[in-house]
Amino acid sequence: MFSEFEVVPAVDVQDGQVVQLVGGERGTGTEYGDPVEAAERWVEAGARTLHLVDLDGAFEGERVNADAIAAVVDAVDVPVQMGGGIRTAEDARTLLDAGVDRVILGTAAVENPDIVAEVSDDYPDGVLVSLDAKGGEVVVSGWTEGTGLDPAEAAERYADLGAAGILFTDVDVEGQLEGVRTDPVRRLVEATSIPVVASGGVATLDDVRALRGTGAAAVVVGTALYEGRFTLREAMDA
């Protein structure tokens, strides 16, 4: 999936605009303009992968910003991983057929783990399972509902079902620009045989280095890049 550690810019879309939320809470977002313009800017800056999320879809349970997401996929020539509102195998296959390289299954994978195998059978590298944690517990439905699942304990089950990797978001620090927590990421990396993509809390280049040191395959960065805490090139060089 990732031949070497990557810094992956986030393009999270709400009401057709790029938005970064704080702690995953609706109403806390800061807008950063048009998704296609943002995506093209990150690719021009050297991004080798983009991370797209339909935030409205994550909350509503169905894809709301499909047109905006499709426009980004059409506009860029780098791999794209996309999540938010993908609830069925048919939804996932439609996106993969349309040019998305990897779909991110969170709520759907927790409620119906077999969906991972259904999609992975046709697209062996096409599924990232999102294990997003709040208070050490996997949360779903736009990070609003607890599941009782421990991320590290759940990860290998999804590997056995064919997931190409795990996307782990530390919701407690997401969007706050106050730094990362490496212990949960390291624990997850050690618990599973498939790549782990870390997300949440990155504020400095040291945070990027720290997550690389956990053994994560990549890190998704949003607010820190949009707020100019560092450039994408600086993060990649770090």
| Residues 32-73: tens digit of each pLDDT | 999 999 999 999 999 999 999 999 888 887 787 889 999 999
DSSP state letters, 51-84:
EEEEHHHHHHSS-S-HHHHHHHHHH--S-EEEES
Higher pLDDT, 14 or 143: 14
Cα–Cα distance, 173 to 131 (Å, whole number)? 15
Range scoring the smallest mean pLDDT among 86-90, 173-177, 223-227: 173-177
Structure token pair of residue 19 = 């938005």
Mean pLDDT, the chain, integer: 92
Which of the residues are catalytic? 12, 132
Q: What is the pTM of this model?
A: 0.92
Q: How confident is the model at residue 180 (pLDDT cuts 50, 70, 90)?
A: very high
Cα–Cα distance, 181 to 214 (Å, whole number)? 10
pLDDT at residue 104 greater than cutoff 80? yes
Cα–Cα distance, 120 to 158 (Å, whole number)? 11
Helix segments in 76-214, DSSP class H: 89-97, 107-111, 114-122, 151-160, 182-191, 205-213
